Amino acid sequence: MIDKLRIIFLALLLTACGPNTFEANGAWARPTAAGGTAAVYLELRNGTAEDLVLVGARSEVARVIEMHHSMAMDEMEGMIANEPDTDVMKMAPVAELRLEAGETFVFEPGGYHLMLIDLEQGLVAGEMFFVTLYFLNSPDLQVEVQVIAP
């Protein structure tokens, strides 16, 4: 009976400490003056068994945060066929992002990012701030963001 209890206890312990977690790693932004814009980059690891849907974010350092995707003009839907300059990067807002079960989603320069709009304060290298991520089907996640000089 004691061996069965040990096995059950170990199974519960491994489940609690195992891959069934959702986390943010390596969040960073560049220094920026108050009143401007900045981007936050990070990795979101969905170690849960279900897809999660990111629907927004908030921070005390900015009036608004939007999810954006940067891409070359020739990648954008509805692009005019005769666009002369296809090397230009454009940003498009994203209403929600699906984070598939067991996957890591990367927000990185030239791709997806969180756009901080109308900064309430400057972002100073060496300091940090918090961003809260909102999900359709999961609790909010507070993320510490490091401000890193280029």
CATH second-level architecture of 19-147?
A: Sandwich (2.60)
Looking at residue 86, its pLDDT comes to 53
Instruction: Identify the DSSP state of 78.
Output: T
Calpha distance 17→10 (Å, rounded): 10
Calpha distance 56→131 (Å, rounded): 10
Mean pLDDT of the chain: 84
Q: For the chain, how big is the Rg over CA atoms in Å?
A: 19
Q: Which residue has 């900064």 as its token pair?
A: 119
pLDDT class for 71, splitting at 50, 70, 90?
Answer: confident
Q: How many CA atoms lie within 13 A of 103 on its CB side?
A: 11
Residue partners of 141: CB distance under 8 A and separation at least 6: 22, 23, 24, 132, 133, 135
State whether residue 133 is helix, strand or coil.
strand
Query: In b/e form, how buried is each residue of 71-98, taking b as 16+ CB within 10 angstroms?
Result: beeeeeeeeeeeeeeeeeeeeeeeeebe
Looking at residue 22, its pLDDT comes to 87
Looking at residue 99, its pLDDT comes to 94
pLDDT class for 90, splitting at 50, 70, 90?
Answer: confident
Percent of the chain residues past pLDDT 90, beyond the cut: 67
